[in-house]
Amino acid sequence: MLEITAQLVKDLRERTGAGMMECKSALVEAKGDLAEAEVVLRKRGIASAGKKASRATRQGLIGSYVHHGGQLGVIVEVNCESDFVARTADFQELVHDLAMHIAAADPKFIRREDVAPAALEKEREIQKARVIAEGKPEKVADKIVEGRMGKFYEEVCLYDQPFVKENTLTVDQLIKTKIAKLQENIAVARFIRFKVGDTAAE
């Protein structure tokens, strides 16, 4: 049997914040590969984070990010359950990363359910017209439109966007890894993005 050293477990714990037994189990599954064990924990964390999603978030931080040159800035409110978690370096890093992501990716909404019905209907009409113009059969048109709506959500919804610093993760998955690590529900409450000259800043 592969020996998992105490140092390996300690290293993984420092990198992820997971418990000792969880770290050891992930290392066994990853055959001692630290990076792979982190992926194992991340996948487990994402699975367990869903259970915390209904818990109230009344604490948190307001973070900001101003892009070099001062032409673009973001203010974001990210909530958690306790003042203790709000003061942790992990939570503060998340808030900063989210502000920076919003500056770079320019989302219009936080979640899919925040998209106005009129905007959704308009986008569906545009995509349907495109599909018909491309000469696709009517019977598959709706399926193609739904596929393209997924891409639309990815472009305009913060939680659906690939995280700018690690595009293998969506912002939703990034937040869930922090929920798993900090053991509290975390949610983006609101944000505003300012760009010089853009009077309709979102």
pLDDT in tens, 101-122: 999 999 999 999 999 888 888 9
Q: Rounded CA gap, 92 and 161, in Å?
A: 20
pLDDT level of residue 201 (50, 70, 90 thresholds): very low
Question: Over 90: is that where the pLDDT of 74 sits?
Answer: yes
DSSP string, 86-120: HTSHHHHHHHHHHHHHHHHH--SBSSGGGS-HHHH
Instruction: For domain 116-155, give the fold.
Output: GTP Cyclohydrolase I; Chain A, domain 1 (1.10.286)
Question: Over 60: is that where the pLDDT of 1 sits?
Answer: no
Residues of the chain with CATH 1.10.8.10: 6-51
Q: Are 135 and 142 in contact (CB under 8 A)?
A: no
Q: Are 26 and 41 in contact (CB under 8 A)?
A: yes
Q: Rounded CA gap, 116 and 134, in Å?
A: 27
Burial 36-71 (b: 16+ CB within 10 A, else e): ebbebbbebbbeebeebeeeebebbbebebeeeeee
Residue 51, both tokens: 């259970």
Residue 112 CB neighbours (<10 A): 15
* Better-scored residue on pLDDT, 168 or 14: 168
pTM recorded for the entire structure: 0.69
Q: Cα–Cα distances in Å, from 73 out to 24, 37, 61, 82, 122? A: 42, 36, 17, 27, 29
* Better-scored residue on pLDDT, 36 or 54: 36
Strands (E) in the chain, as ranges, are 59-66, 72-80, 187-195
CATH class of 6-51: mainly alpha
86-95 pLDDT, tens digit per residue, is 999 999 999 9
pLDDT value for 80: 95
Helix axes 171-182, 34-49, angle to 10 degrees: 90
CATH class of 55-111+157-195: alpha beta
The residues, ordered by sequence, that sit 6+ positions from 150 with a Cβ below 8 Å of its Cβ are none
Q: Are 107 and 156 in contact (CB under 8 A)?
A: yes
130-181 pLDDT, tens digit per residue, is 888 888 887 788 889 888 898 899 999 999 999 999 988 999 999 999 998 8
Closest CA to 161 of 94, 91, 110: 110
Question: Over 70: is that where the pLDDT of 53 sits?
Answer: no
Average pLDDT of the chain?
Answer: 87
Residues of the chain with CATH 3.30.479.20: 55-111+157-195
Residues of the chain with CATH 1.10.286: 116-155
